[in-house]
Structure 1
Amino acid sequence: MYAVIDIGSNTMRLNIYEHKNNKLYLILSKKITAGLAGYVNKKGNLTKKGVDVAIDSLKEFKMILNHINVNKTYVFATASLRNVNNSKRVTRIIEEKTKLNIDLISGKEEATLGYIGASMMLTLDDGLLIDIGGGSTELVLYEKGKVKQARSLSIGSLSLYKKYITNFLPTEKEIMKIRKNVLKNLRELDDYIEPAHTELICGVGGTIRATRELNNDLFSNVEYNKQIETQHLKELFNLYLNESHQFIKTIIKVAPDRLHTILPGMIILDTLANHYNSKVIEVSDFGIREGYLYTMINKE
């Protein structure tokens, strides 16, 4: 068995897998909503409180691992540590306090690993993969089963929440401001990923999985439905603006730990779908963690 710890901007997660016949089988998953992006100050530094939260979370994961015999534990960090100005210093402190080696992966690596993970679950021939995290959003354009472009945007569900939303949930005006920011970032990628007709999006990551759960509940889809029609995203926003009580009640039921971040994440997803003229989002339960672990095992 192998363990992988993902230090994300919104959540930190420990997953333990069995590796058999070149496939990964999830045995255990433990999530902590650490919200590290919320501990970044105006200077762009991760504060001492944020460092302490990361250390305490990792120590909690280590306590679990003390009772499970794994071949090896891999630890990686994404935008949570990559995008802060004191990245090297805080990474060193966290490593010293936890006795864990942290692999700080680039945005391009994060995008590519997300594609590798998703391709273990879905057949990915031609399309666009989107991974919306707490502090960054990754896009992968793939053709004939191969990565053509892998890009990362420094915007995520939690970082946009922190920047634009004054109260717990966004106003209509704040939603428009977030859309404008996302669109500005997307247009900077047009030279790499053309806003042509990309009918199918492959979605990975917690924000998109939570959106799928919301979609399935509100539109009476079967629980195991893996797709979101992009038209439904517009209907979800209309529901939020016109019947917010029902919308919030459903989020509390299906994804309570994402109550404040799911809407900024959905704005990113909806803006992306509009920009690339997409009709359907196919959601993968495998993503960066599986892609990272699979890559590391094959390197051994």
Structure 2
Amino acid sequence: MIRLPASFPSAQDQRAIIDIGSNTVRLVIYGGPVRAPVVLFNEKVTARLGKGVAESGMLSAKGIASALGALARFAIILKLRGVDDVQTVATAAARDAANGGEFLEQVAALGLEPRLLSGEEEAVASARGVLSAFPGACGIVADLGGGSLELIDIEGDAKGGGRCTHGISLPLGTLRLAAMRVDGSEKFARRIHRMLKGQDWDAHSGQVLYLVGGSLRAFARFAMEQVNWPIDDPHAYELSPEEVLSAVRALQSKTARGAALAPINGVSASRLASLADAGALLGQLVKELHPSRVVFSGWGLREGLLAGTMGAKTAGQDPLLAGVVAFVEMQQPGLSGAAELVARWTARLGYAGPDNLRRAAVMLALASLRSEPNLRAEQAAQWALRKRWLGVDEAGRAMIAMAVLANSGQAEIPTELPRLAPLQDLREAVIWGMATRLARRFCAGAGEVLEASSLTISGRKLVLATTHAMAPLYTDACAKDLRVLAEMMGLTPHRLSVESAADLP
């Protein structure tokens, strides 16, 4: 009998989404914290259900067979894993096909409970995914699938919620675009314009355009490769409208006269084949909607469905901290609590940066100590830059990465990080990391030491005060850390010993 490791999530902690799309049929099983779920299992089959709909108005027999085969496998996997929290949804292909209802009856016969989403419901679900990943997001969400393009206005709040209004669905999925582009770019552009006007879609110039969907994330990866971007996760990747159009032109140049694109890391062959079509549509959307900036989202419909089940209290949690806490607790139970002690001990230095970034940096810095000494700095920086975190942009990732590097003694800013964040912010992150380094070396992992000491600024002095009982813990190495930190802050280091904790400054 195979025994699962103790850390393997129980069935009660797992939630599953089956997404029956126009291009792919996918099962994703999520675990981890509800506010920042992590993917435990992700499998898709390219059934191309929407191809038959675009050509004949019917789901093809081949597409149905492929989809049902995948869904039968998914049903067995869920049963074997004991996952009961399952949402099965179908989108544009099943919605538009004349035989869509018959197909969903066959899906139900497998023991699944498919729900056919309307175009507006699909748009709202994608919008909720974006709002959950980017608390406070305001603008337009564009979700490009195989059979349709959904557009919806969003106005988020800091608690991960908000309003979704004016949702529309257009027959502009990637499986339809190639045929629409045959007559040339000018006619294609006019057709997109008429479709938007026909739906009474009148976006306000200067809004943020949030992009959802595998084909648009593939475009982001293409754009990242063109500029040798330091991060390879397209989630939260941001471009100006001019940069989008420049990438579209580069894509058109590389695919001129039917030339095949070179492989792109993280992009499947099927996505690669439709990338030029997705890019052409994105270029027209940018010209029509006049956004201030364009942000790519790794979260969309599936994650929006999960977000719809969260209570208000859970939705109000900080998604970055929820994710980082879950991650570091897997490294060492109780580590997030220890990190909070360090974060509070260093908090009186008057940081200007967002507190959630600093707290996340402290947690990852302490978690890195579980690694081999020669791996710690690089591994923790990679966690910050490459792991899928929510509620943080690329500048925030860079600040966390710089802080964990400084925690390991590397105060010099790597050349790639100023491409992600301003130098002033990165220098502040160095101070976060050096303060964490001082705290952990001084207390030696004992929280009582931090409770019997303080780190404060008094005039032009950086003061480390301890009770007499804890004074022997202040070593030459601690003195060096205090001096380096003080110099970085333009202060003079000062050591103070007091009778009791009540006397600490």
Return the alpha-carbon distance in structure 2 between the equivalents of residues 224 and 91 of structure 1.
35
User: 4-13 vs 264-273, which deviates more?
Assistant: 264-273
Contact 2:263 2:272 survives alignment (8 Å) = no
Contact 2:154 2:165 survives alignment (8 Å) = yes
| Aligned pairs, number | 289
Q: Does 1:148 align with 2:161?
A: no
Gaps of 5+ in 2: 1-13, 157-161, 312-505
Contact 2:139 2:208 survives alignment (8 Å) = yes
C-alpha offsets along residues 89-126 of structure 1, whole Å, 9 cap, x if unaligned? 22213322x22111001010111111111111113442
Return the alpha-carbon distance in structure 1 between the equivalents of residues 281 and 212 of structure 2.
13
User: 251-260 vs 147-156, which deviates more?
Assistant: 251-260
Equivalent of 2:47, from 34, 38, 59? 34
Q: Does 1:53 align with 2:66?
A: yes
Equivalent of 1:244, from 244, 249, 255? 255
Q: Which residue identity is paired with 1:108?
A: E
Q: Which residue identity is paired with 2:255?
A: S
What is the aligned-residue RMSD (CA, Å)? 2.6
The structure with higher relative contact order (CA 8 Å, sep 6+) is 1
Q: Does 1:187 align with 2:197?
A: yes
Report the counterpart of residue 210 of structure 2 in structure 1. 202
Q: Which residue identity is paired with 1:51?
A: I
Equivalent of 2:141, from 129, 137, 140? 129
Alignment of 1:1-300 (within 5 A): 1-18=14-31, 20-40=33-53, 42-96=55-109, 98-143=110-155, 145-161=162-178, 163-164=179-180, 173-189=183-199, 191=200, 193-222=201-230, 223-224=232-233, 226-244=237-255, 248-251=261-264, 254-296=267-309
Contact 1:158 1:264 survives alignment (8 Å) = no
Alpha-carbon distance, 1:77 to partner = 0.4
Return the alpha-carbon distance in structure 2 between the equivalents of residues 232 and 266 of structure 1.
12
Return the alpha-carbon distance in structure 1 between the equivalents of residues 115 and 88 of structure 2.
6
Q: Structure 1 segments of 4 or more deviating over 6 A?
A: none
Gaps of 5+ in 1: 166-170
Q: Which residue identity is paired with 2:271?
A: R
Return the alpha-carbon distance in structure 1 between the equivalents of residues 106 and 79 of structure 2.
22
Contact 1:217 1:250 survives alignment (8 Å) = no
| 1:224–1:241 Cα change, 3 Å | closer
| 1:178–1:60 Cα change, 3 Å | farther
What percent identity do the matched residue pairs reach?
26
Matched position secondary structure for 1:3:
strand
Larger Rg: 2
TM-score by length of 2: 0.53
Alpha-carbon distance, 1:19 to partner = 5.5
TM-score by length of 1: 0.86
Return the alpha-carbon distance in structure 1 between the equivalents of residues 184 and 106 of structure 2.
36
| 1:234–1:120 Cα change, 3 Å | same
Matched position secondary structure for 2:81:
coil
